[in-house]
């Protein structure tokens, strides 16, 4: 009897050890395929195999991955890996946005603003842009600046516009930097100041290295040159020095 009991106990101990080992390994088995799939998706996207990338991102998105939901929404938005589908784009943007993804919130705001995949709704656009902007998304900050600048969905408020433009400009957003320059040129929301206007135009010019945007930069140069014609040599020198310091400080506190 004792011999049989010992054998039974030995079998239980062995089974427990095997079960414990399986439990310890199990999480790694679950996690590894997901990480590999994300890398595969990124590789396929980079190689231009958008159909494959879309399939992998969809698999991850359906598991609740907010970044995959954002990318899948973007692919539907512009028609990569399949037909362009704004309704699907909105669906995936919303899933990611509701998880707090700032870029998805910004994208969803734009869909409401234009009326793509959803009925046009400025109030809803502002709601999502504000969520994203408060998380530091520079595109949403620029969008909110424009909303207050033009009074679309909210009362026109140049000071509020300047605040959002400045936040985006400090993150290196060239469009916000140009907008801020115009606020100083016109004296809207800030005191009129040719030196600071010249500074921000110079920063936007040197900061915009996007291929295919030579025409936009050429226009900024013309605007800055026109502004310089009414400035003194001392003012221009000061503006250039401010631009140098502002760039060195990564656009903060300018």
Contacts of 79 (CB under 8 A, 6+ apart): 85
Determine the average pLDDT of the residues in 209-214.
Answer: 79
Determine the average pLDDT of the residues in 81-102.
Answer: 98
How much is the pLDDT for 213?
80
Alpha-carbon distance 115 to 199, whole Å? 36
Q: How many beta carbons lie within 10 A of that of residue 217, not counting itself?
A: 18
The model's confidence at residue 206, banded by pLDDT at 50, 70 and 90, is very high
How much is the pLDDT for 212?
75
How much is the pLDDT for 189?
98
Q: What is the pTM of this model?
A: 0.83
Average pLDDT over the chain reads 88
Determine the average pLDDT of the residues in 125-137.
Answer: 98
The model's confidence at residue 211, banded by pLDDT at 50, 70 and 90, is confident
Helix then strand count (H, E) for the chain reads 12, 0
Low-confidence winner among 18-32, 126-140, 179-193, 214-228 (lowest mean pLDDT): 18-32
Residue 142 to residues 59, 114, 218: CA-CA distances in angstroms? Answer: 33, 16, 22
Task: List, as one string, the DSSP characters of 103-163.
Answer: HHHHHHHHHHHHTSSS---HHHHHHHHHHHHHTT-HHHHHHHHHHHHHTSSS---HHHHHH
Q: What angle do CA 206, 208, 210 make, to 5 degrees?
A: 140
Structure tokens at 203: 């920063």
How much is the pLDDT for 168?
98
How much is the pLDDT for 67?
96
In the predicted model, is pLDDT for residue 39 greater than 60?
yes
């Amino acid at each position: 009897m004792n011999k049989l009991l010992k054998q039974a106990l030995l079998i239980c101990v062995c089974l427990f050890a095997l079960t414990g080992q399986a439990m310890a390994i199990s999480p790694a088995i679950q996690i590894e395929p997901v990480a590999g799939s994300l890398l595969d998706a990124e590789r396929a996207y980079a190689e231009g195999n958008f159909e494959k990338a879309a399939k992998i991102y969809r698999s991850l998105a359906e598991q609740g991955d907010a970044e995959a939901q954002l990318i899948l929404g973007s692919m539907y938005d512009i028609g990569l890996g399949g037909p362009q589908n704004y309704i699907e784009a909105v669906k995936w943007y919303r899933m990611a946005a509701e998880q707090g993804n700032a870029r998805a919130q910004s994208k969803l705001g734009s869909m409401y603003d234009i009326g793509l995949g959803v009925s046009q709704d400025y109030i809803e656009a502002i709601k999502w842009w504000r969520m994203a902007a408060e998380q530091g998304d520079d595109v949403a900050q620029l969008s909110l600046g424009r909303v207050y600048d033009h009074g679309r969905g909210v009362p026109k408020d140049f000071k509020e516009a300047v605040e959002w433009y400045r936040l985006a400009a400090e993150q290196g957003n060239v469009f916000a930097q140009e907008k801020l320059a115009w606020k100083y040129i016109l004296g809207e929301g800030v005191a009129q100041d040719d030196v600071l206007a010249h500074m921000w135009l110079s920063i936007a010019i040197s900061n915009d290295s996007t291929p295919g945007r030579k025409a936009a930069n050429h226009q900024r140069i013309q605007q800055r040159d026109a502004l310089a014609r009414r400035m003194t040599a001392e003012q221009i020198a000061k503006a250039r020095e401010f631009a140098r310091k502002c760039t060195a400080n990564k656009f903060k506190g300018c």
